[in-house]
Chains A and B, each alone.
Chain A
Amino acid sequence: MLAPTLVVLATFYFYPLLVAVYYSLHAWDLLTPARYVGLDNYRALLAGGALADVLLATLRVSLTAVLGSTLLGLLLALAVNRPGRLAAFVRSSVFSAYVVSWVSVGLLWLWLLDADAGAVSALFRMLGFGTAGVLARPESAPYALGLVVVWKVAGYAMVLFLGGLQSIPPSVVEAATLDGASRLDRFFHVTLPLLAPTLAFVTTTSLILTFQAFDVVRVMTQGGPVRSTTVFVYSIYEQMFMDLRVGRASAEAVVFFVILLGLTGLELWAFRRRGAV
């Protein structure tokens, strides 16, 4: 029964991973024969802080996106978890951003954040945040990208939280109300603990999703300014296709895999400890 799944996994996941490990130990430019270099590619990544810069940029974008989308998704879910046309309209509208392609989202926000013509930039200017566009400054660009991701994936989190909210037995909430629990008490001591499995699922999948961000970076910043938005996948793409370094790109892919696996494991372990999953 498991054989077809195993074949697919072996062909499209395990084999490419093994190939990446193999090439991470070689210097190869796709044109001339690969040359065994041992751990040189890993050393090159660590030297000069290149890997640390990429990890930092990825964390900035990802944490902004995961925290923002989880919080916004939860708030939206609480707000629209009711019958009625207006709530249905808001649910559909918010979720619609999730089905729009990343490239379209990138282009739309590139325009909105344009330093001169963008509506959001105009708002920032009015609020006194300076005249340069947020995408032109290394301090703000990764967070701006993260917020664009929030805008796109908050609808996904909202739908999952709605599912979680609707699976909470009304009797539990009613019992808490009869016991005199305030609205905030009910949320923090009843709703949120019961939503923990959904929360674990949303944060884990959002983390994986945002760690793999590529299209939005390619369209909006191409990794700049000053490599402040060169996230892992974009860096791998640059090493592989722009800089002719297959070995170094493979080494980065292996490191990326290990980090993502570690972070996901850590997250699930933390939720398990709290009995969420």
Chain B
Amino acid sequence: MPLPSRHRAPPARDVGRRELLLGAGAAALGGCEPVSPLSRGRQQASLWFTYGGRNREVLEHLVQRFNHAQSAVYVKSVFQGDYYEGLAKLRVALAANAGPALSHVVGEIVPYLAEAGVLERLDAIGAVAHHVLPELGQRGSWVGGDTHPLVSLPFNRSTPIAYLNGAIFEQGGLSAPRSWDELRDMARLLTRRERGRTTRYGFGCPVDWWFWAALVGQAGGHVAEPNGDITLGGEAGLRAVDFWQKLVLEDGSMKPPAGRDYNAWEQTNQDFLAGRAAMIWTSTAFLSYLEKNARFPVVAAPLPMRERHAVPTGGTHWVLLKSAPPAEKVAALAFVRFMLEPAQVIDWANGTGYIPVTQQAVLALSESGHFTRHPNQRVALDQLKFAEPWPWSTRLFRVQREIVQPRLEQAVLGRGRTRELFAEARRLARAD
């Protein structure tokens, strides 16, 4: 029996160039952007994020959890490289009016973006903002207050911590250094050389503004004074560089910086995991990654002191972009609210090593005995009492990238006189 005409195959004919192009285009588009069945009929909200590896896995898992937990909003997460690459793409997208509804950016850039008028106020988030740990929200700054509106909320926040190779430290009967002098002695002791080649460095640390800021605080200074004046720590800033110089150039107990930006951070992690560095400083963000990948016990410890204890805070804050359609912003805000619920804050912190950012989450973890079972995860949290607040400064980001960072590398490698380099840096920081 012949098929009804609507079921019959169309008469065969040659496929034209137009059809070929359309087909190829559709296939390419289809391949680029798979549509999840979950997204149908929901308000979509785009989230641009900037983590790879383990942290990316944890975040994508939480996004999936949100998408399955309700049926009104679908969050589509898009990886955008590291913090700096992500920020570059975000700015270009904003200029092209093609930005996402939600992203997360480093704290130092929040004032810049806020003053540029691209951030949406987050007042609709409600009381959650008051539950943020004060050291991470910096009332009067990132989470608003005084003259500043609420334009960001902490997401992945961290401090630098020390990571020790537990096996090496146990073998040598050593414990974490508590002062700069102890750190220097221990780094020398733990450095191994064979036939003129250093097979293990006692200490490793990216020569990066963030760790320098920790040293400046420990040496008794402030990168920025409470009144916002960027002094780069004065003499303490020089003492910080001098300490690194001694380790790298005099003692040879710290590996010279390899790579820049996050490549240097990754190199430090790899040196630690491969046993080429007995002790490193890096972010608490890598706690879970290092614990899972090390073939030795990883011991986290607070940073040592000189004049006093001090650490900077780091990591990123949620920001809602003003340019997104209103419905998408509402949807994105629902996701931020979800991410600030204790369950998500706890899973994010446990899965990565970042600090749990709300008081309820910290309380729940303490009461459940989590920190007793996982003392490494307590280290960064305990250090918060020594956290140095960042100023609300639109210049801070440029001071960091353009003025201080290049001079740090130059000074630590002994290419130029530190005092002159930093005098110039201070002049530029104030004039910029």
Contact = CB atoms under 8 A, between A and B. Distances in A.
A222 B401 CA distance: 13
B417 interface: no
Nearest to B89: A241
B406 A222 contact: no
A223 B260 contact: yes
B423 interface: no
B387 to A, nearest CB: 26
Interface in A117-152: 125, 131-133, 135-136, 138
B276 A116 contact: yes
B130 to A, nearest CB: 30
A226 B197 contact: no
Interface stretch (B43-51, B90-98, B279-287): B90-98
Interface stretch (B216-224, B302-310, B361-369, B407-415): B407-415
Interface in B98-149: 112-113, 116-118
A222 B197 contact: no
Interface of B: 84-85, 88, 91-92, 94-95, 112-113, 116-118, 196-199, 256-261, 263, 274, 276, 397-398, 401-402, 406, 409-410, 413, 415
A224 B262 CA distance: 13
Contacts, number: 71
A167 interface: no
* Best-surrounded residue of B116, B197, B259, B401 (most CB of chain A within 10 A): B259
Interface stretch (A10-18, A26-34, A66-74, A77-85): A26-34
Contacts of A224: 257, 259-260, 409
Interface residues of A, number: 25
B84 A136 contact: no
Contacts of A227: 406
25 contacts: A30-B91, A30-B94, A31-B113, A31-B117, A32-B116, A116-B274, A125-B197, A131-B197, A136-B258, A138-B413, A138-B415, A222-B259, A222-B261, A224-B409, A225-B257, A225-B409, A226-B409, A227-B406, A240-B88, A241-B85, A241-B88, A241-B92, A242-B401, A243-B402, A244-B112
B82 to A, nearest CB: 11
Given A30-B91, A131-B196, 19 more contacts: A30-B92, A30-B94, A31-B94, A31-B95, A125-B196, A131-B198, A136-B257, A221-B259, A222-B259, A222-B260, A222-B261, A225-B413, A241-B84, A241-B85, A241-B92, A242-B84, A243-B398, A244-B397, A244-B398
Nearest to A30: B95
Contacts of A223: 260
Contacts of B261: 222
Contacts of A115: 258
Contacts of A125: 196-197
A132 B263 CA distance: 17
A32 B117 CA distance: 8
A31 B95 CA distance: 6
Contacts of B88: 240-242
A133 B92 contact: no
Nearest to A131: B197
A227 B416 CA distance: 13
Contacts of A241: 84-85, 88, 91-92
Nearest to B85: A241
Contact of B410 (A131, A133, A226, A243): A226
Given A125-B197, A131-B197, A136 B116 contact: no
A125 B257 CA distance: 19
Interface in A43-90: none
Nearest to B92: A30
Contacts of A222: 259-261, 263
A132 B113 CA distance: 40
A138 B406 CA distance: 13
A138 B94 CA distance: 37
Nearest to A115: B258
Nearest to B271: A116
Interface string A210-224: 000000000001111
Contacts of B398: 243-244
A132 B256 contact: yes
Nearest to A242: B84
Contacts of B199: 116
Contacts of B274: 116
Contacts of B260: 221-225
Contacts of A133: 258
B419 to A, nearest CB: 17
Interface in A227-248: 227, 240-244
